[in-house]
Amino acid sequence: MTHRLVLNVSLKVPDNEARSALEAIRAKMGLSAVVLDLAREEVWELDVDAPGPHEARAVVSSLVETTNLFANPNKHRTRVTEGEGPRADLAPDEVAVLVSDRESALGGSILSAARRLGIAQLCGARRWVRWRVKLAECPTPEDPRLLDLIRRIGVATGRREGLLCNPHCQAARAILPWGDEKPLAG
């Protein structure tokens, strides 16, 4: 039976890439009154062939603890959860922008590396960069400007618009706090 687990990987130290992106969004894009914070993490959706969820979690935990395929234990913090995917754990005042490279999003190199290590139970891997955007106000499903704001922040359309996704080589989608997903690019 295949079980889907989610591996979140974040830095233990301050993330200078996220700091720089936040500064650009707030100062250069003029959104300081709207966007309060920005955080970045890798999210892996991993499909594991195992008899039960406990055994599937053991496979992923072993991969994380014994290899550097997903994280460097000196600088990364990891968390394994079941099923929910990259939409889980958003606060009511957060939206997420998920970005993946079109060419390498399916994690073929991770699967090949796991097989070389003798781990055949890993049967699927998908990687996203999840940008968590903390807003000044909790968004509502009725707000017609929300998707435009997320697209303005998330998808690069010019020198002064968009930042998190290059639509020419990446795919992006928005995750809203109430669970809806909206395509942004790709």
Instruction: Provide the CATH number for the domain around residue 68.
Output: 3.30.1280.10
Residue type, 126: R
What per-residue confidence (pLDDT) applies to 156?
92
CA distances from 105 to 23, 44, 109, 174 (A): 27, 10, 10, 16
pLDDT for residue 105 is more than 80: no
pLDDT in tens, 11-59: 999 999 999 999 999 999 999 999 999 999 999 999 999 999 999 999 9
Report the mean per-residue pLDDT for the chain.
Answer: 90
| Domain residue limits at 79 | 2-185
> Count of domains in the chain?
1
CA dihedral 23, 25, 26, 30 (to 10 degrees): 140
Q: State the pTM of this model.
A: 0.88
